[in-house]
Amino acid sequence: MVSYKRLNPEDVQFSSALLSEEPRPVHEEVSVREPEEASLLPRRPSCSVNTGLLLIGCLLLLLCGGWLLGTVFWLHRPSNQQPHKPPSPAGAQTPDSQIDIGVNDAAAASRREACSLIPEAWRFDCYPEREVVVTRELCEARNCCFIPASSPSSSATHQSGRNGIPWCFYPQDFPSYSLVSLNDTSLGQKGTLVREVKTYYPADILTLEVEIRHETDMRLRVRITDPSNSRFEVPISVPTAAKKAESPVYTVEFSKQPFGLIVKRSSTGAVLLNTTVAPLFYADQFLQLSTSLQSQFIYGLGEHRSTFLHDVHWNTLTMWARDVPPMERTNLYGAHPFYLAMEDGGNAHGFFLLNSNAMDVKLQPAPALTWRTIGGILDFYVFLGPDPASVIEQYVEVIGYPAMPIYWALGYHLCRWGYHTSNSTWEVVKSLRNYGIPQDVQWNDIDYMDQFLDFTFDPAKFGTLPDLVKDLHAHDQRYVMILDPGISSVQPEGSYWPYDEGLRRDVFIKDAEGKTLIGKVWPGLTAYPDFSDDVTHEWWHDNLQRFYEKVPFDGLWIDMNEPSNFLDGSTNGCPSSSLENPPYTPGILGGLLRAKTVCATAQQKQSVHYNMHSLYGLMEAKASASALKRIVAKRPFVISRSTFPSQGMYSGHWLGDNRSQWKDMYTSIAGILTFNLLGIPLVGADICGFSEEPQEELCVRWTQLGAFYPFTRNHNAIDMRPQDPTAFSPLARTAMKQALLLRYSLYPVLYTLFHHAHIHGHTVARPIMFEFPKDVKTYGIDKQFLWGKSLLVTPVLDPGVDYVDGYFPEGLWYDYYTGDSLHSKGEDLRLHAPLDKINLHLREGSITPTQAPNLTLWVSSGQPLHLVSALSDDGSASGDLFWDDGESIDTYENNLYSYIIFNVTQNVMTSQVLHSNVEATYITVETAAFYGVKQKPSRVLVNSQDAAFTYRANQVLTVADLGLNLSQNFTISWMF
């Protein structure tokens, strides 16, 4: 189904006023060559026959000579062509005003020759509309180059709607904006851009303002706006710079005509942004900006199901929140217009486009990237890193640091759609307890509700739900239930408070006529709360408070919040307008902005839904987190399906309705790594898969992997067989139990990592390349990952094997379980991996605090610590621990925490309490193990007192029965 207005040649119009006006005066600050022609179409002035023939001869001679010289120059250009700049096509440019009909043919031939010299990788799509077979006539009506792809495999772009080399692409002289003035400001520069030629999209904005803000030494911000009219801007809070950066590590250069920005890293000269590679577009509903890329190593750009490293071979990533099971080449639940890019030598930078409208991001093998959005403004940041981890820190500083999770959020969560009754839910909880399987949280899907109505529970099937929750609390466990935003609109008046009160307070999204928009979700016909309105937040809180008094839940699972709709738009459809059918529609599933969501013309308090759509999940998460803080007076726990930048401040995320397939398990790793880049570290996938029947071997391997998701939940669909650990054979059940106990033993590590994410913007589940940015072999790895900087996870992702191949960057690594060491030169190694084992390795130089695991984190977190030191070749190691009560709000901000660092050097371990709190006094350090002690010590001292120890042949020294108070400094030393 075609969702855009097809633009035929007769639809391309030009302003007669623009064609007739005098050249604009140019400000003194910038010298700009005036365009010789104000139209994309050539004019044919009259001339005498003699003059015409003379001109024809001269011009043909000039053209041929120019073409020959240009071609020779191009063929003999230096081989070190800058990667950020495409080769210039040959051919002289001739003023259109001097060409008659005969010369037009020659000029057209020369132009086509110039077009052919643009390398395929540098061809920027001039006709991105889908479902259009682009002919030469259509393409040249846009004044673009038309060259059909040379091979069937590369002809996909315009023949079948798939990606491929564009047949229709911009010539290098395609008209764009000119920079006609540039002045200094307190933060950088501000300039005026002018376009003299209208484009083929309606409502061009011909005069723009560009503002360059040198916000910090590592962060550049650029805003391109319409100085005459205010346009929608994303309503999230970002830092406001007070003064210009004093020593920026970047330089900004300007191309005046056509306008472009070139941002370089000062230390290396690497070009991080170059917008001169293709023309800038800025129409009311079509904004386009292209840039070269430093390399093909691009990450981020969520939410999409793909490998962690994006494919730059004509790959289009569409962003527009959508309810759809994860699949490749489809816009999914969230929108995150941020990418991380690697450079030669291991440096990295980032780019963030602060825009919430529907957009396409086109990657091409030049390498280059094009942003194509249909609203808002161009407001973007460049982050200079220089290492990948620093890029993410700088990005998170802008969008907001993720919240510190409540301690039980890091335990094992169990859910399914199809428990059918509260008693059957309860039986599963009891079964896990009986088998000694850890579980912190039990969830319910929509079947707990009465007729799928929010803020209700089925009095017949779930009548014992309050008792179940009471029992969970008695066992130090927690309860989370689902909520969908759709509020039933068809209950008898006076019988359903959420809708009646919502109408009274006017909290629902309106249609274009100002009436409550009605869609359809699980309860039938529904209205949608407008979470962009503070009044709605208060109404949401009041509904939650009323339900909490019946069922004292602990956290919220907010689903269907793209928002999802079983209809396209509403029960009344959507009006015909440019908002519903924009001149260009990105490649969204369904082809329409309203496909399985509400109308783009729907009215919200802050703007039309056209602008607000992808923000819906963020705003609901914000309302939910705020309400939970007030209701439970503890850190809120919210897991949301739809997400947007800054979401980590309010919620975590799960990767949606995956399948019980090995491929889905593999792609989940890329998903959790990507969301850690995007500032949402509390992320996981449905362990064992959501839909389709679970396989025992798959579920064992997935539970082992899922034990290392930052957020760990097993969840499956209605009518599928149960897939909790108790549903399988004793061997499988035992293997799953061991994996979950392993996770619980590592809680101190995980909790400390989340502290660093909250305070510094660090990743929790971390790509290997973050720690080894100079090792290019790590750039594409998404079958392994790290917790923090030192715990390497190598899961089995294939059926029927008892081994796994993993890459070990150069250095010394230790088997986590045994302490056996291996020296890697940067190589792939085959590891033994029976069904009951997931391979873990410790990186040299790290100290890992662990605890004896138990059935809940409430119990586990009170156990004594065991410190594992993985020594470097020189005998050194370091680590840290953040500790607080696990649930109070803002403990770090209010100084209610302990922070301890551990170091080993020259055969001495020291602990140093940098910040103390009463919580640490309840914990002791019971044992310490040192991997890589090269010979057996003759003596071990603990706080200068002799202590018993053991030493194994694999160079592992263990000191037990320490009984050291965590809140006090201590030393452990050994001598030979």
| 624-660: pLDDT as tens digits | 999 999 999 999 999 999 999 999 999 999 999 999 9
Report which residue type is found at 926: E
Q: How far apart are CA 404 and CA 409, in angstroms?
A: 10
Q: How far apart are CA 828 and CA 835, in angstroms?
A: 21
What number is the average pLDDT over the span 848-864?
A: 97
Query: Which residue reads 């939970």 in tokens?
Result: 628
Task: Provide the sign of the torsion angle of the four alpha carbons 181, 185, 187, 188, taken in this order.
Answer: positive
Q: How far apart are CA 484 and CA 933, in angstroms?
A: 56
Q: Tell me if 85 sits within 8 A of 292, measured CB to CB.
A: yes
pLDDT digits (tens, 9 = 90+) for 890-916: 999 999 999 999 999 999 999 999 999
Confidence of residue 102 (pLDDT cuts 50, 70, 90): low
What number is the average pLDDT over the span 501-507?
A: 98
DSSP 179: E
Q: Which SS3 state, helix, strand or coil, does residue 911 take?
A: strand
Contact partners, residue 256, CB within 8 Å, separation at least 6: 30, 31, 32, 178, 179
Q: Judge whether 559 counts as a catalytic residue.
A: yes
The DSSP-derived string for 780-825 is: T--S-EEETTTEEEE---STT-SEEEEEE-SEEEEETTT--EEEES
Residue 107 confidence (pLDDT) = 81
**Structure pTM?**
0.90
What number is the average pLDDT over the span 44-61?
A: 41
Residue 52 confidence (pLDDT) = 43
Both structure tokens of 102: 């005969």
DSSP 578: T
Both structure tokens of 958: 């263990």
pLDDT digits (tens, 9 = 90+) for 917-966: 999 999 999 999 999 999 999 999 999 999 999 999 999 999 999 999 99
Residue 238 confidence (pLDDT) = 98
Residue 103 confidence (pLDDT) = 57
pLDDT at residue 68 tops 50: no
What number is the average pLDDT over the span 482-498?
A: 98
Residues paired with residue 843 on neighbouring β-strands, in sequence order? 813
Contact partners, residue 515, CB within 8 Å, separation at least 6: none
Both structure tokens of 399: 């969008």
Q: Considering the chain, what percentage of its residues have pLDDT values greater than 90?
A: 87
Residue 105 confidence (pLDDT) = 80
What pairing do the DSSP bridges indicate for beta strands 652-654 and 348-353? unpaired
Q: Give the chain's mean pLDDT.
A: 90
Residue 109 confidence (pLDDT) = 85
Q: Tell me if 740 sits within 8 A of 412, measured CB to CB.
A: yes
pLDDT digits (tens, 9 = 90+) for 315-357: 999 999 999 999 999 999 999 999 999 999 999 999 999 999 9
Comparing C-alpha atoms, which of 598, 591, 537 is closest to residue 566? 598
Q: Which SS3 state, helix, strand or coil, does residue 50 take?
A: helix
Contact partners, residue 608, CB within 8 Å, separation at least 6: 579, 600, 601, 602
Query: SS3 helix, strand, coil % of the chain, rounded to 5?
Result: 25, 25, 50
The reply to whether omega before 196 is within 30° of 0 (cis) is no
What pairing do the DSSP bridges indicate for beta strands 478-483 and 441-444? parallel
Task: Provide the sign of the torsion angle of the four alpha carbons 606, 609, 612, 617, taken in this order.
Answer: positive
Contact partners, residue 344, CB within 8 Å, separation at least 6: 268, 270, 294, 295
Query: Which residue reads 């928009």 in tokens?
Result: 517
Burial of 261 from C-beta contacts in 10 A (0-12 / 13-18 / 19+): buried
Q: Judge whether 513 counts as a catalytic residue.
A: no
Output the CA angle 748-749-755, nearest 5 degrees: 90
Query: Is the domain 770-975 a CATH 2.60.40.1180 member?
Result: yes
Report which residue type is found at 731: L
Q: How far apart are CA 808 and CA 822, in angstroms?
A: 9
Which part of the chain is CATH 2.60.40.1180? 770-975
Three-state SS across 230-290? Answer: CCCCCCCCCCCCCCCCCCCCEEEEEEECCEEEEEEECCCCCEEEEHHHCCCEEECCEEEEE
What are phi and psi for residue 774, nearest 5 degrees?
-90, -5
Comparing C-alpha atoms, which of 805, 809, 928 is closest to residue 866? 928
pLDDT at residue 529 tops 50: yes
Query: Is the domain 178-399 a CATH 3.40.50.720 member?
Result: no
Q: How far apart are CA 520 and CA 528, in angstroms?
A: 10
Confidence of residue 106 (pLDDT cuts 50, 70, 90): confident
Comparing 151-165, 642-656, 745-759, the range with the smallest average pLDDT is 151-165
What pairing do the DSSP bridges indicate for beta strands 281-283 and 271-274? unpaired
pLDDT at residue 743 tops 70: yes
Q: How far apart are CA 413 and CA 953, in angstroms?
A: 40
Confidence of residue 163 (pLDDT cuts 50, 70, 90): low
What number is the average pLDDT over the span 467-475?
A: 98
Residue 499 confidence (pLDDT) = 98
Both structure tokens of 801: 């094997």
Q: How far apart are CA 804 and CA 815, in angstroms?
A: 14
pLDDT at residue 572 tops 60: yes
Size (the chain), residues: 976
Query: Which residue reads 């309503």 in tokens?
Result: 235
Comparing C-alpha atoms, which of 763, 869, 771, 867 is closest to residue 811? 771
The reply to whether omega before 386 is within 30° of 0 (cis) is yes
Q: Which position among 397, 454, 458, 562 bears the catalytic label?
A: 562
Q: Tell me if 145 sits within 8 A of 112, measured CB to CB.
A: yes
What number is the average pLDDT over the span 565-586?
A: 98
What number is the average pLDDT over the span 574-603?
A: 98
pLDDT at residue 498 tops 70: yes
Residue 22 confidence (pLDDT) = 34
What pairing do the DSSP bridges indicate for beta strands 638-640 and 555-558? parallel
Q: How far apart are CA 731 and CA 432, in angstroms?
A: 15
CA distances from 892 to 411, 883, 886, 888 (A): 21, 10, 11, 10
Q: Tell me if 324 sits within 8 A of 691, measured CB to CB.
A: no
pLDDT at residue 95 tops 70: no
Q: Tell me if 89 sits within 8 A of 57, measured CB to CB.
A: no
Both structure tokens of 9: 């040649």
Which part of the chain is CATH 2.60.40.1760? 178-399
Residue 20 confidence (pLDDT) = 30
Comparing C-alpha atoms, which of 36, 40, 38, 44 is closest to residue 9? 40
Q: Bigger pLDDT: 28 or 842? A: 842
Residue 635 confidence (pLDDT) = 98
Q: How far apart are CA 696 and CA 247, in angstroms?
A: 58
Q: Which position among 140, 559, 568, 844 bears the catalytic label?
A: 559
CA distances from 241 to 186, 187, 214, 217, 289 (A): 10, 8, 8, 11, 25
